[in-house]
Amino acid sequence: MKFARALLFGASILPLAACDIRPRETAEAPAVAPSVQVAAPVLPLQPSTSPLAQAVNGAVWAEAPASPAAQRDIMLRAQVLLDRAHVSPGVIDGQDGENVKNAIAAYERANGLPEDGLLDAEVWAKLTADAGPVLTDYVISAQDVAGPFTPVIPKDYAELARLDGVRFTGPLEALAERFHMDAPLLQALNPGADFSAAGTKIVVAAPSRSELPAKVARIEVDKARKQVRAYDAAGKLQAAYPATVGSDDLPTPEGEWAVRTVAPSPTYTYDPSRLNFGNKKAGKLTIQAGPNNPVGAVWIDLTKDTYGIHGAPEPRLVGKVASHGCVRLTNWDAQQLAKAVEKGTKVIFMGEA
């Protein structure tokens, strides 16, 4: 019997901000808009002393978990271990769903297991060969709370363009992204914690290191599975990530293209003369850099003009909504991929959205 997939809460199916224009290079990004820092766990990891964390770190496989809490603990441990195996479930939230299913399918395929995308005893045994704790303790630093932050992120592009940077809204969002977590899960694991106070000890996930084991020679954008897969020169899978792809009205490209360049901390230019969406009366707009920029923390520019693979301001929606044609990853997944590609890396679009 397979682990039953349970959607404990869902995300609204809403369009995200558009991406279909190449951002300017890093040099033009303001210094006040730092990019996301991908967490790299310090080895050997120390398990958290929190009872909530101990339950997750000690979670064992059960075909029929005894309670919703036990089910969440199993899924949470699996999500962190998938992330550590460079098969990203997207935002770590302790919930099952399509992103997790696609991550498990990629993991099964890479490890020679029967591929059905469902968590079972065989997948669990393989994952938990990594016996390190998946939740650890972290002490919030003065740097974590210093900012600068952008407390309110407008939806309107014209309002966004008036800001000097589109940074994290506060320490909670910054810490959640640093540890690849959904902010509500971070809060649930730390009831009553003040995330704005330096010196506060909190429970966090211990996800993957920022670097992949090898350079990426080929990227597959699987529109049907809403997944990006990265392979080395020998054809070995290096990483898989959930992705938001285009819709029927604004499709993602087809065929084979290549990486042209990588722009960390990109600004974003909305040019109504080149795009078919948005309020064209606002004219050409430049939105400054930051993780809540429409293209997130990094832009991987493709040889298909105005298209790229990039980060996203709302990680919990990645893989669950339609884009305006580009390929959205979570900020941390996009940064990890960006470090492993170079000019000329093949990008192959496959399947139907």
Which is more confidently placed, 249 or 31? Answer: 249
When pLDDT is averaged across residues 2-23 and rounded to a whole number, the result is 34
Residue 104 above 90 pLDDT? yes
Mean pLDDT of 30-47: 51
Residue 18 inside a domain? The answer is: no
Question: What is the average pLDDT score of the chain?
Answer: 86
CA distance 154 to 8: 28
Q: What CATH number does residue 224 fall under?
A: 2.40.440.10
Strand stretches in 186-320, DSSP E: 201-205, 218-222, 227-231, 237-242, 255-264, 268-270, 285-287, 298-302, 308-310
Structure-token pair, residue 181:
């977590």
The pLDDT value recorded for residue 309 is 96
Residue 78: inside a domain: no
Confirm whether 97 is domain-assigned. Answer: no
Which domain range does residue 34 map to? 26-38+210-350
37 φ, ψ to 5°?
A: -100, 120
The β-bridge partners of 181 are 92
Residue range 222-251: mean pLDDT, rounded:
90
Q: How many domains does the chain have?
A: 1
Instruction: State phi, psi for 264 to the nearest 5 degrees.
Output: -70, 155
Distance CA 315, CA 229 (A): 18
Distance in angstroms (rounded) separating the CA atoms of residues 151 and 169:
4
Confidence of residue 322 (pLDDT cuts 50, 70, 90): low
The whole-number pLDDT of residue 57 equals 97
Cβ neighbours for 241, distance < 8 A, ≥ 6 positions apart? 88, 90, 227, 228, 229, 230, 329, 330, 333, 337
- For residue 66, is it within any domain? no
Q: How confident is the model over 69-86, as a mean pLDDT?
A: 97
297 conformational bin, left if phi > 0, alpha if psi -120 to 50, beta if neither: alpha
Residue of 187 and 208 predicted with greater confidence: 187
Does residue 307 lie within any of the structural domains?
yes
With respect to residue 61, please indicate whether it lies within any of the assigned structural domains: no
Is residue 136 in some structural domain?
no
Q: Is residue 167 part of a domain?
A: no
Is residue 240 left, alpha or beta, with left meaning phi > 0 and alpha meaning psi from -120 to 50?
Answer: beta
The model's pLDDT over 151-185, given as tens digits with 9 standing for 90+, comes to: 999 988 899 999 999 999 999 999 999 999 999 99
Region 283-303 average pLDDT? 93
